[in-house]
Amino acid sequence: MSSPSNDFLFIILRRLGEAGDATVIQEIRGNEIKRTSGKELLAMVNQAASFIEAQGPRLRSGDRCALLGPNSIRWIAVDLALMIKGIIVVPLYSRQAPAELAAMVRDSGASAIFCDGSELGSALLDALREAPRTTLFDEIFESQPATSISMSHNPARSLMIIYTSGTSGIAKGVVLTEANVTFMLSRTSAALDQLMGPRGAPERVFHWTPLNFAASWISLLTSLSRNTVVSLSTDLTKLADEMKIAAPNYFLNVPALLERVRAKIEESIRAKGGWIASIFARAKRTYFADAGTSAGFVDRAALAFAKRFVFPTIRKSLGTNLKALICGSAPLSVETQKFFMMLGISVLQAYGLTETTAICTLDDPANVEPGYVGLAIPGIEMKLGENQEVLVRGPNIFSGYWNLPEETAKVLRDGWFHTGDQGEMNARGNWKITGRIKNLIILNSGHNIAPEPLEEELATHLPGAQVMLTGNGRSYLIALVAANSGATDAGVRAALDKMNERLPHYRKIRAFHRISEPLTIESGMLTANGKLKRDAVAAKFAPEIEKLYRKREHE
């Protein structure tokens, strides 16, 4: 295979060839590790590319192919092979509802579906009326590889269609190009050089976020282009154990995971009790007040003791090689970021959207400001527009939404991408995201949820009710229900149970608060044309919302 030396696929393939028999990627399966060398992964890519080439007119350059399966080495090999052959990849989330996946396959016009597992494939096919040919990974990797494979290269070509939910609830396909990805990988790799310093031993990376997410995919491709050993998680219920086995230098996180880790650490300290718990509590109060700069002698002594004897033990439990936690996809609370900084662990934030090839800003490892998401990456421009909306332009901006020219025109105007996020930039150039212009709810797992379709469906089960979902930056959704028809708590619960049966885990509504009075224009809860004033409703019922989240967290 040959390609211009600055093309990211060429860089990755060259890196795999140079790695030879050295491990570049491994799957953690319980206590066992399945290791794959650079030479072996290269052979798998070649085998998959040969299979694709043998499809002839059924799957040609420029066609779309859906890719469905959990994270695996085989998924990665197929993904690389499809891109090498010029096929536009449509990655699908294996935990998403089959009906939603079917809508994406239909919308993309996929000519084929490559699937890791017959059960996943069958569920998707059942939801499709007219299904393209579905091929299991087993068939791909039982085929005979060709001796030579041609490679497609065109910076302007569409590389991937990643579906992301919009405020209407209808998923839109974000088209990313070869040029988008090549540009972004040069920037992410440079940022990792800054974090890791002079290159020596292979970097160790733990990877658990689903590869159909743009940030996760970019993180993986960056790792494959560097001297890195990637450890893939295969069981989300065993992340802590897998993390210890991987012993990473850094890895990509979402706020939900960091908040769970923080809660587990604090719970463990409280359970120990005694002087350790007392020292930890005092040290934490001191650090959070002003990092101990103006504290009294006893408080400063407690913080100093914790830094020397308590915090290092906690750091060791998270990994002996850990240099930084990289966090994106959703807002991270300042308190959680400071908590890890107190322990001596950097939390580097990134901000971006699928439409910006996952990233707009990255934290400078030497200049982290809690609550900020870092500087605009070199080579792109960011500014504020009307209503403090963050606008971005540069080589990272997507080419458009698949088959949605009007939707594309709404967000790409005069060369600037309108993010729908509100923000601000301080004197040091660091950006902060302060809110969203759109109503889209972003859970701290990174899942994007349009509230309107769920609200409308719940309201159909509760005639006369007004419904508003909340959960931005939280772990799950909660419903506020103004049951004007006199619906009881039991009635609301029954309606939610019925809805939740068919919803994927991240769209389930886990709790509700029933409001006794209607939401009206007069009370300031509705606009003049009868639409919800979401911020006003959330502010009015903030105590009830907080009570619900606290209650569920302690259940």
For 45-86, how does the pLDDT look when each residue is reduced to its tens digit (9 = 90+)?
999 999 999 998 889 999 999 999 999 999 999 999 999 999
The more confidently predicted of residues 310 and 319 is: 310
Distance of alpha carbon 276 from alpha carbon 305, whole angstroms: 10
Is residue 535's pLDDT more than 90?
Answer: no
pLDDT at 257 over 90: no
Kindly report the average pLDDT of the chain as a whole number.
90
pLDDT at 202 over 90: yes
Cα dihedral value 435, 439, 443, 447, nearest 10? -120
Tell me which CATH code domain 8-249 carries.
Answer: 3.40.50.12780
Write the class of the CATH domain 256-320+323-436: alpha beta
pLDDT per position as a tens digit, 466-476: 899 999 999 99
What pLDDT is stored for residue 553 in this prediction? Answer: 64
Q: Which CATH class is domain 450-553?
A: alpha beta
Residues 442-465: tens digit of each pLDDT: 899 989 888 888 888 888 788 778
- Distance set, CA 486 to CA 170, 492, 513, 517, 541 (Å): 32, 10, 14, 10, 19
The mean-pLDDT minimum among 127-131, 194-198, 349-353, 468-472 falls in 127-131
Whether residue 11 has pLDDT greater than 50: yes
Residues 407 and 401: beta-carbon distance below 8 Å = yes
Q: Are 45 and 147 in contact (CB under 8 A)?
A: no
Q: With 90 as the cut, is the pLDDT of residue 483 above it?
A: no
Mean pLDDT of 338-354: 95
Q: Where in the chain is the domain with CATH 3.30.300.30?
A: 450-553
Average pLDDT over residues 415-441: 90
pTM for this model (two decimals): 0.85
Q: Supply the angle between the helices 274-290 and 297-305 in degrees, to the nearest 10.
A: 110
Do 140 and 48 meet the contact criterion of CB atoms below 8 Å apart? yes
Q: Where are the beta strands (DSSP E) in 15-165?
A: 23-29, 32-37, 64-68, 88-92, 112-115, 133-136, 158-165
SS3 for 314?
Answer: helix
Alpha-carbon torsion, ordered 340, 284, 268, 276, to 10 deg: 130
- B/e letters for 41-69, b = 16+ CB within 10 Å, e = fewer, are bbebbbbbbbbbbebeeebeeebbbbbbb
Residue 529's pLDDT is 56
Question: How many whole angstroms from its chain centre is CA 74?
Answer: 21
Predicted confidence at residue 506, as pLDDT, reads 93
Residues of the chain with CATH 3.40.50.12780: 8-249, 256-320+323-436
In which band, very low, low, confident or very high, does the pLDDT at 521 lie, cut at 50, 70 and 90?
confident
Asked if residue 166 has pLDDT above 80, the reply is no
